[in-house]
Amino acid sequence: MSEQALRIDEAELRGLLDGRWAGVRERARDVVRGELFAPVYGLSVEEHRERTLAQLLALAETDLPAYGFPASVGGRDDIGASVVAFEMLVADLSLMVKMGVQWGLFGGAIRALGTERHHAEFLPRVMSVELPGCFAMTETGHGSDVQSLRTTATYSPVTGDFLIETPDEAARKDYIGNAARDGRMAVVFARLRADGEDHGVHALLVPIRDEEGAPLPGVRIEDCGPKAGLNGVDNGRLWFDGVRVPRTNLLNRYGTVAPDGTYSSPIENPNRRFFTMLGTLIRGRISVAGGAGSAAKAALAIALRYADTRRQFTRPGSDGEPEREVRILDYLAHQRKLLPALARTYALHFAQEELVTRLHELSRAPRRDEHAQRELESRAAGLKAVATWHATETIQTCREACGGAGYLAENRIPQLKADSDIFTTFEGDNTVLLQQLTKGLLTNFQDSFGDLDTMGLTRFMAGKVFETVIERTAAIPLIERLIAASPGRGEDADLYNRGWQLELFEDREKHIIEGLAGRLRRSRKDGGDAFEVFNRAQDHVLAAGRAHMDRVVLEAFVAGIDRCGDKSTAKLLNRVCDLYVMSVIEEDRAWFLEHERLSTSRTKAVTRAVDDLCRGLRPYAVQLVDAFGLRDEWLGAPIALGSEHARQGDAAPARG
Amino acid sequence: MSEQALRIDEAELRGLLDGRWAGVRERARDVVRGELFAPVYGLSVEEHRERTLAQLLALAETDLPAYGFPASVGGRDDIGASVVAFEMLVADLSLMVKMGVQWGLFGGAIRALGTERHHAEFLPRVMSVELPGCFAMTETGHGSDVQSLRTTATYSPVTGDFLIETPDEAARKDYIGNAARDGRMAVVFARLRADGEDHGVHALLVPIRDEEGAPLPGVRIEDCGPKAGLNGVDNGRLWFDGVRVPRTNLLNRYGTVAPDGTYSSPIENPNRRFFTMLGTLIRGRISVAGGAGSAAKAALAIALRYADTRRQFTRPGSDGEPEREVRILDYLAHQRKLLPALARTYALHFAQEELVTRLHELSRAPRRDEHAQRELESRAAGLKAVATWHATETIQTCREACGGAGYLAENRIPQLKADSDIFTTFEGDNTVLLQQLTKGLLTNFQDSFGDLDTMGLTRFMAGKVFETVIERTAAIPLIERLIAASPGRGEDADLYNRGWQLELFEDREKHIIEGLAGRLRRSRKDGGDAFEVFNRAQDHVLAAGRAHMDRVVLEAFVAGIDRCGDKSTAKLLNRVCDLYVMSVIEEDRAWFLEHERLSTSRTKAVTRAVDDLCRGLRPYAVQLVDAFGLRDEWLGAPIALGSEHARQGDAAPARG
């Protein structure tokens, strides 16, 4: 890598990262400021909840909630903007999640699963937070396996209403945001029974509190109590005993019950109907991936600014230079902790932008494209998993990289860590999501998404020809051109040749998926029990999902750099991209060796390349992290805002 | 691996794990119970501090504090016991750390660095907590580089006292436990100036608060405020301005000042003197490694018991068996999250026992053995690093493995995570410690420990012949016998052959260290700047330390199993040991491939072996974790204590 200094065009870089919804980001930067939105710590649970609600009410006064709602109720019908707005609320992740519950999950379910009449009746009050609500899906006994929920909604043609019941402890609604304190109504997911039949899981609007905030008759509410983080969000448990709601409270876009109890649905197959309904709720998952990205960016901003100023141990002066203590970011070990994480954060940022764009476009498509929808859902599952794992790992690393200062609440990292920790679990457990992604890859998105049951697997295992289809998700002509120009697999290919890198990632993905398909079918033929066969291959299944996401993320990064209008800035981004690629290869280099994709001298060269790239990028680290455009007051950490400069008696750099 | 069921002799296993200080563990199990010691959550910082102090005062009434103090003041002079007692306080890590500050650090420094007269005057009041104290070493600007501390203690023969001064902001004492609220006196580390000379860092007793708890004149105290965890410990900052203490307040075992200002020391070389003083404080570091182990055990106990009962997704019934949802510990992915971590926790447990034994024995040796002392310090540095990283990673994994339940404060994991997070930083930053270890290995413990300066490196780099000396640390004849019987490097060696495994670990260690030595010397000869040469090799340096510890830990595990008196139990432990070995190899299999130690078919076999061992150990997981003997009330998590059984309507297992 050339050691020549590069000039970064800051406006160009910011514009590139802000992307299609730059206006929304700028709006959030204007709105989310001042005392009300500043990060705080040391509040009691009740104080934090009160503050978070006050923040939400203040946001309701702005134009931010309108993005996600239809024009018919005064919204702007801009789904992409609503996801980006969510992601910008990094000043307090409790507010981010509380907003997500109210407008994204509660409002989003009414929008996606309800019909015009539900929209007109409820959405205006959802937007204004006059009607605070819950998304009551998860039950204590069923988190990942939503299809097996046990709450029942039984229709009676006599009374013309639904009876909502919690049959046992496993069926209590658990971890429900907005339930413990503020929620007045809940979208309750329950098995719909009508006409003597179980029609599977549907959603209904169920009032849970009266105007004074007291639980309604038949509704029992329990507080989940203090949590590791997100204590501004009031999670609770709900039980229903003899609760009745009118027939019209069924969110009936995908299944309706006539007054006489006759059930009908535009989707015949109950399995397909269920997964179609779930699929409409994909926005929450995509939002969480974006929120995780913001949390990782904030932690990196704090840790890199601190490491750029903090000094430890003396480097002996050479040739008349005075002896001076070394900035800790000058140590290779410290660079290796933070810079590959920064590179991956960049890569994921571009992948997120692609995914949001895709979601947005499908939401406006004149007719439903089943294949595209399933590909979107698979990718959302995969990106949510890799982005939230990345955030958890990165924030942990940043905590340690800041030493004792990183443990103090005043420096923000503890709160970022604690708040974002649940992101790997909620909106879908990551391990389950990666398996759903791989299932989609195995079936080339033909089957119902998320259908992880063994019957589907049995069908798959009995299949014959299997060929992976690599579907590109970004800048298709560019990527194909680069791959076509790849020098191929030889020893001489430049490690930094983008076409070679793309081909390497693609080849790994294909090989892992095809190997998995073969393995599943072989074991099945040998008479293995389908569950056992799949279970024994579970690690292979997860590896397939990861390899797929590495490739998709790389393509998005390459496409992003291609949009950069400044040559020198693009050059720098290409180095960041190289660091992303080299650190992914380094991490999985055992695979490349085991499958004879790279020789041992090549993998050793990759390790040296990571070292070189870290050293080369070190001077730009602070600029790169500042380009994310997180306001200083959102970081709110003295160690990131000049306290270390001041302590050392250096002039503090000017910060915007 | 044979699938035949093994019978575990629970008493034998408990006895083996309890080890040499079983009596201390039993005593802790008796003493640490009831409401006062039960885990709590949701306290305010002030409430938590108050509670922690009350707990400490209650412990002071028992025989636990006596272990670490000399017989001359009524102690039991049993250093090993004092470390084990610390480790048992897992019911609340704030109490563990507060106790460590009072008796281990404050009392320990007076014991190790002071003389008879300090012991007699202060230690009884330290033990009874009549005199709560601080260990004021770290400064804001100097955490890892203790040798560069800037606080000064200047002796005046005129007044006969020391003037303690904080020259600048970088020199304020930071993160000091017991400082913000309870401490009355501090052991202050400062540059001793006498007779116009700087004699380097020494420790002095400095009163900081009066009887009413008000800061004494010239002492400024600031609260570090809320932290990610350990909020029962009152960390603070200290500044000294014109504070005077009598000459006799110098802890003068290794350096003393006569009334006329003449400095003298039993150790001529100032560098050696400094590191000898630091070396006497090694107990704190070893205690932290043990405490981290306990935190990991507690998290695993919670996560494994929960995973053993919680069910998700249905396995289709085969051959007339009823369809039933699958216990999540039956999934390979879940086993792979938790069982290798359990195996490593076992391995580290035995390594910790070895280390404590070594510390204990050296503390009783009639004369100082420099080499043995440095080996102990190196090993303590290494074990502290790997044990605390393991704890952080394992507890994180357990949080995720418990899903939403793992995020609720009532289930204890959030507190374990937040409290133990700083263990990778305090008592020595892990990255720095591993480098100190490697330095010790390169110099075969000849040089002053911890002397990481470039001068020492320059000397090393100029050296000629280098040969690694593998020093065994446990059960030497047994290990040598096993290695002698190893089938060697061929393809056919049984992966489970212990001699082959030991040889593989040893060979990797030697190769990495010798490669590093060669690399450092070559680059130096090529004219590289010593700092740059070392910095560029930093990742190699860390890898050397890790490889060394993997070998030391394995030897301790093997030695531990050899002490097991029951054949069937030993067989099970051998499987656990195999899982430890296979997962270490799997993690670093790229290295074994790159250095042609294993073929690709061998590394693939290792991956299969991890799967097999996980499946084979799954039925014993709960018994294995219960054998650690952590009382149910210390876990204090409903999900670990039968709530999940009860919810499913199963009979809850009886728990002790």
The secondary structure of B455-489, three-state, reads: HHHHHHHHCCCCCCCCCCCCCHHHHHHHHHCCCCC
Answer whether B44 sits within 8 Å of A44, measured CB to CB.
Answer: yes
**A400 vs B318, B403, B424: nearest CB:** B424
CB distance from A404 to chain B under 8 Å?
yes
Place of tokens 């704190």: B284
pLDDT of residue B654: 45
Query: Which of the pair, A456 or A70, is modelled with greater confidence?
Result: A70
> Is residue A652 scored above 50 in pLDDT?
no
Q: Scan residues 259-318 of A and list those with Cβ closer than 8 Å to B.
A: 311-316, 318
CB distance from A396 to chain B under 8 Å?
yes
A539, A586, A643: which to substitute to probe chain B, counting the most B Cβ within 10 Å?
A: A539
Select the CATH number that applies to the domain covering B133-270 from these four: 3.40.50.10680, 2.40.110.10, 3.40.1110.10, 1.10.3720.10. 2.40.110.10
Q: Long-range contacts for B531-534 (Cβ within 8 Å, ≥24 apart)?
A: B531/A315, B531/A316, B531/A326, B531/B454, B533/B457, B533/B461, B534/B454, B534/B457
pLDDT of residue B656: 39
Whole-Å CA distances, B185 to B138, B192, B207, B216, B232:
16, 19, 4, 10, 19
CB atoms under 10 Å from CB of A654, counted, come to: 6
Q: Left (φ > 0), alpha (ψ -120 to 50) or beta: where does B102 sit? A: alpha
Mean pLDDT of A394-416: 98
pLDDT band at A449 (very low <50, low <70, confident <90, very high): very low
Specify the DSSP element, H or E, that contains A271: helix A270-279
Query: Which of the pair, A446 or B611, is modelled with greater confidence?
Result: B611
* pLDDT tens sequence across A285-307: 999 999 999 999 999 999 999 99
DSSP of A472-484, one letter per residue?
--S-HHHHHHHHH
| Close Cβ partners of A273 (under 8 Å, ≥ 6 residues apart) | A200, A254, A255, A265, A267
Place of tokens 């039925």: B619
Q: Scan residues 354-393 of B and list those with Cβ closer than 8 Å to A.
A: 392
* pLDDT tens sequence across B51-95: 999 999 999 999 999 999 999 999 999 999 999 999 999 999 999
> Is residue A521 scored above 70 in pLDDT?
yes
CA dist., res. B353 & res. B107, Å (int): 23
CB A228 within 8 A of CB A416: no
Answer whether B336 sits within 8 Å of A539, measured CB to CB.
Answer: yes
pLDDT of residue A506: 96
**A169 vs B41, B403, B647: nearest CB:** B647
Parts of chain B with a pLDDT under 70: 1-4, 317-322, 447-458, 464-465, 649-656
CB A344 within 8 A of CB A580: yes
Task: Kindly give the pairing relationship between strand A185-194 and strand A152-156.
Answer: parallel
CB distance from A223 to chain B under 8 Å?
no
CB A383 within 8 A of CB A351: yes
pLDDT of residue B300: 98
pLDDT of residue B642: 84
pLDDT of residue A319: 61
**A409 vs B227, B529, B530: nearest CB:** B227
Q: A149-171 burial string, b = 16+ CB within 10 Å, else e?
A: bbbbbbbeeeeebbbbbbeebbb
CATH code: domain B10-127 is 1.10.540.10
Q: Which residue of A has its CA nearest to B388?
A: A400
A425, A438, A601: which to substitute to probe chain B, counting the most B Cβ within 10 Å?
A: A425
DSSP of A449-464, one letter per residue?
TT---HHHHHHHHH--
pLDDT of residue A321: 67
Nearest CA-CA partner of A535 in B604, B326, B579: B326
pLDDT of residue A524: 72
| Close Cβ partners of A522 (under 8 Å, ≥ 6 residues apart) | none
Where do the domains of chain B lie?
A: 10-127, 133-270, 282-312+327-463+496-635
Nearest CA-CA partner of B245 in B304, B322, B186, B285: B186
B310/chain A closest Cα distance in angstroms: 8
**B539 vs A318, A400, A611: nearest CB:** A611
Q: Scan residues 610-629 of A and list those with Cβ closer than 8 Å to B.
A: 611
CB B200 within 8 A of CB B270: yes
Dihedrals φ, ψ of A423, to 5°? -60, -25
pLDDT of residue A320: 63
Answer whether B594 sits within 8 Å of A594, measured CB to CB.
Answer: no
- Architecture of the domain made up of B282-312+327-463+496-635: Up-down Bundle (1.20)
What is the 8-class DSSP label of residue A323? P
- Architecture of the domain made up of A282-312+325-453+492-635: Up-down Bundle (1.20)
Type of residue found at B343: A
Type of residue found at B294: S
CB atoms under 10 Å from CB of A656, counted, come to: 6
Cβ-Cβ contacts under 8 Å between A and B: the total is: 217
* pLDDT tens sequence across A307-361: 999 999 888 766 666 678 999 999 999 999 999 999 999 999 999 999 999 999 9
Q: For residues A588, A593, A595 and A599, what is the CA-based torsion angle, rounded to 10 degrees?
A: 130
Q: Scan residues 109-138 of A and list those with Cβ closer than 8 Å to B.
A: 138
CA dist., res. A392 & res. A591, Å (int): 24
CA dist., res. A465 & res. A480, Å (int): 26
CA A74 to chain centre: 28
Q: Which residue of B has its CA nearest to A45?
A: B42
pLDDT of residue B448: 52
CB distance from B485 to chain A under 8 Å?
no
CATH code: domain A134-267 is 2.40.110.10
pLDDT of residue A457: 67
Q: Which residue of A has its CA nearest to B230?
A: A407
* pLDDT tens sequence across B11-42: 999 999 999 999 999 999 999 999 999 999 99
What is the 8-class DSSP label of residue B103? I
The burial of A15, by beta-carbon neighbours within 10 Å (0-12 exposed, 13-18 middle, 19 or more buried), is given as middle
Structure tokens at A601: 């001298």
Specify the DSSP element, H or E, that contains B439: helix B430-442
CA dist., res. A600 & res. A10, Å (int): 40
Nearest CA-CA partner of B138 in A394, A316, A407: A407
pLDDT of residue B475: 86
Query: Which of the pair, A654 or A407, is modelled with greater confidence?
Result: A407
pLDDT of residue B319: 61
> Is residue A417 scored above 90 in pLDDT?
yes
Specify the DSSP element, H or E, that contains B645: helix B643-648
Whole-Å CA distances, A432 to A375, A545, A551:
17, 11, 20
Answer whether A332 sits within 8 Å of B426, measured CB to CB.
Answer: no
- What is the dihedral sign for C-alpha B532, B533, B538, B542? negative
Place of tokens 């008592």: B427
Using a CB-CB cut-off of 8 Å, the residues of chain A touching B539 are 332-333, 336, 607, 611
CA dist., res. B294 & res. B368, Å (int): 31
Type of residue found at B402: C
Q: Which residue of B has its CA nearest to A543?
A: B333
pLDDT band at A242 (very low <50, low <70, confident <90, very high): very high
> Is residue A645 scored above 80 in pLDDT?
no
B400, B533, B648: which to substitute to probe chain A, counting the most A Cβ within 10 Å?
A: B400
A407, A420, A432, A439: which to substitute to probe chain B, counting the most B Cβ within 10 Å?
A: A407
> Is residue A252 scored above 50 in pLDDT?
yes
Q: Scan residues 30-49 of B and list those with Cβ closer than 8 Å to A.
A: 41-42, 44-45
CA dist., res. A546 & res. A591, Å (int): 13
| Close Cβ partners of B264 (under 8 Å, ≥ 6 residues apart) | B255, B256, B258
What is the 8-class DSSP label of residue A640? G
Whole-Å CA distances, A284 to A82, A107, A133, A148, A514:
10, 11, 15, 21, 31
Here the ipTM equals: 0.96
Tell whether domain A17-127 is in CATH 1.10.3720.10: no
**A403 vs B407, B413, B429: nearest CB:** B429
CB distance from B418 to chain A under 8 Å?
yes
What is the 8-class DSSP label of residue A253? S
| Close Cβ partners of B368 (under 8 Å, ≥ 6 residues apart) | none
